[in-house]
Amino acid sequence: MPRKSDSSFEASKNFSVAATTKSLRRIDLLVVAGLVIVSGAFAIGFFYPDDLITGKDSYGIHHKLAIALQVIGVMLVPLIVGGYLLIRTGKLAWNRVLVAMLGVVAPLFVLYPFLAEIYVTYRNTNLRDNFHPYLQIAPPPFSLQETSSNTQPIRIVCLGGSTTGRTNTKGRQWTQMVEDKLRTLCPECNVEVYNQGVDWYTTLHSIINYTTNIRQYHPDIVVVMHGINDLMHNVDFGHLSSGAFRNDYGHYLGPLGDVIVSHGILGGLYGHFRMHWFAPSRQEIVVDKFPGAAPFRRNLETLFDMSQLDGAKFVILTEAYLYHPDLTPEEQRKLLMLKFEAHNATLGWNLKTAINGMREYDDLIRAVAKNRKANLVDLDAMIPRSLRYFLDDVHFTDESFDIVSENVSGTLLPLVRSIHKSGVNVTSLNVNH
């Protein structure tokens, strides 16, 4: 027979359990259903990201981030519902949940000014370090090479954008490879090749750079390769444009876009969130008329005319590109400029437009070369359109570097030999100026 004290203990224990464990009511079931619907809808949103950065055209970190957000979104559903049930049944105190949430949110409010400063500094450091008030990005300093040769150097200057300025996997520019080839094939010619290619640069940048930084050094040969950066200025509806197309390119923000149109850390986070959550559909548009074609041709002719006035020979290159109608999924994933420059929130160029544009711009280059009797290196006809030769829309693999350097040096060699044979080059004519 149990003792009275034992009975009292059991009764007390049952009372304690009853007091700390609450039963669910009908209203709780409705709340749970609502939480499942809301959190489920929130999670589903991450399965509808922006097609420009995910899906069949996924690229790098954006694709990985999309998958991570989808997993997190799905996990939120049982987490939210389970948390509510634990609170309602008394197994988790709501005040502890509140304190935990405040413990996360309060430090963010305190740290926000510092995080915002770090965010702005991180985004703009490179631009500030290389900022130029007229060219946006400063060109590399033009300093003459030291030479021990008794003969006057034959100076070759290469103008262009990133396809001229960037390096291969060995850290070498194709212009350096050209210099090596010319020095090997004509060691007595004393050739110097200078690279003035800069990311984002267009024909207009090169005109300013040539006029203000290069002309005074009297190059003997000017080599020019432009195309896609000028083409992208036609996207006057895009997020890098401040308005309708201008013939002087004044509408295009380019690398200053993130500085001029700055949304801060919260705006940046929200923008990235909207790219991954129920992203608005974007209408692809086909464009076959480009207002920038006329100023592009004008600028090329201006570069030619200035070179001729200075006594320099002029070599112009078409710009090769990856775009073609039958891109493989892997090739689509590698596209950068078409995805990130040629669109806004609701509109975007399609692949056909990019093909039309590059074809027209390269045809303009060929026309300028023909009409002005300039030396042409038709890289577009020489480099096949595949990932064996391209890293993305236009940037070269090492194999393309070899093709470019081989063909450019092949075109330059007779010009260099002719200058050397004559014994009179622009440098020697202006050596005392």
Together in a domain, 136 and 56:
no
Per-residue pLDDT tens over the stretch 50-69: 877 654 444 556 667 777 87
Together in a domain, 356 and 409:
yes
Together in a domain, 138 and 77:
no
pLDDT of residue 340: 86
What average pLDDT does the segment 90-99 reach?
85
Together in a domain, 405 and 272:
yes
Task: Identify the CATH number of the domain in which residue 408 sits.
Answer: 3.40.50.1110
Domain annotation covers residue 106: no
Can you tell me the distance from the alpha carbon of 357 to that of 290, in angstroms, rounded to the nearest whole number? Answer: 7
Domain annotation covers residue 112: no
Per-residue pLDDT tens over the stretch 121-162: 766 666 677 888 899 999 998 888 776 666 789 999 999 999
47-73: string of b/e by CB count within 10 Å (b at 16+)? eebbbbbbeebbbeebbebbeebbeeb
Together in a domain, 75 and 180:
no
Can you tell me the distance from the alpha carbon of 246 to that of 379, in angstroms, rounded to the nearest whole number? Answer: 29
Count of domains for the chain? 2
Together in a domain, 229 and 139:
yes
If one counts every other C-beta atom within 10 angstroms of the C-beta of residue 176, the result is: 17
Can you tell me the distance from the alpha carbon of 116 to that of 217, in angstroms, rounded to the nearest whole number? Answer: 45
Helix (H) or strand (E) holding 347: strand 347-349
Domain annotation covers residue 118: no
Per-residue pLDDT tens over the stretch 352-405: 999 999 999 999 999 999 999 999 999 999 999 999 999 999 999 999 999 999
Domain annotation covers residue 268: yes
The parent domain of residue 376 ranges over 131-143+153-429
Does the structure show a pLDDT above 60 at 15? no
Cα dihedral 49, 52, 57, 63 sign: negative
Question: What pTM value is reported for the model?
Answer: 0.82
Together in a domain, 80 and 139:
no
Together in a domain, 88 and 136:
no
Can you tell me the distance from the alpha carbon of 2 to that of 20, in angstroms, rounded to the nearest whole number? Answer: 26
Domain annotation covers residue 184: yes
- Contact (CB, 8 A) for 98 and 46: no
CA distances from 215 to 66, 125, 188, 430 (A): 50, 30, 25, 11
Per-residue pLDDT tens over the stretch 185-233: 999 999 999 999 999 999 999 999 999 999 999 999 999 999 999 999 9
Together in a domain, 49 and 193:
no
Can you tell me the distance from the alpha carbon of 379 to that of 46, in angstroms, rounded to the nearest whole number? Answer: 42
Domain annotation covers residue 114: no
Together in a domain, 423 and 344:
yes
Percent of the chain with pLDDT over 90: 53
Alpha helices per DSSP H over 1-25 = 4-20
Domain annotation covers residue 98: no
- Contact (CB, 8 A) for 307 and 373: no
Question: What is the gyration radius of the CA atoms in the chain, in angstroms?
Answer: 31
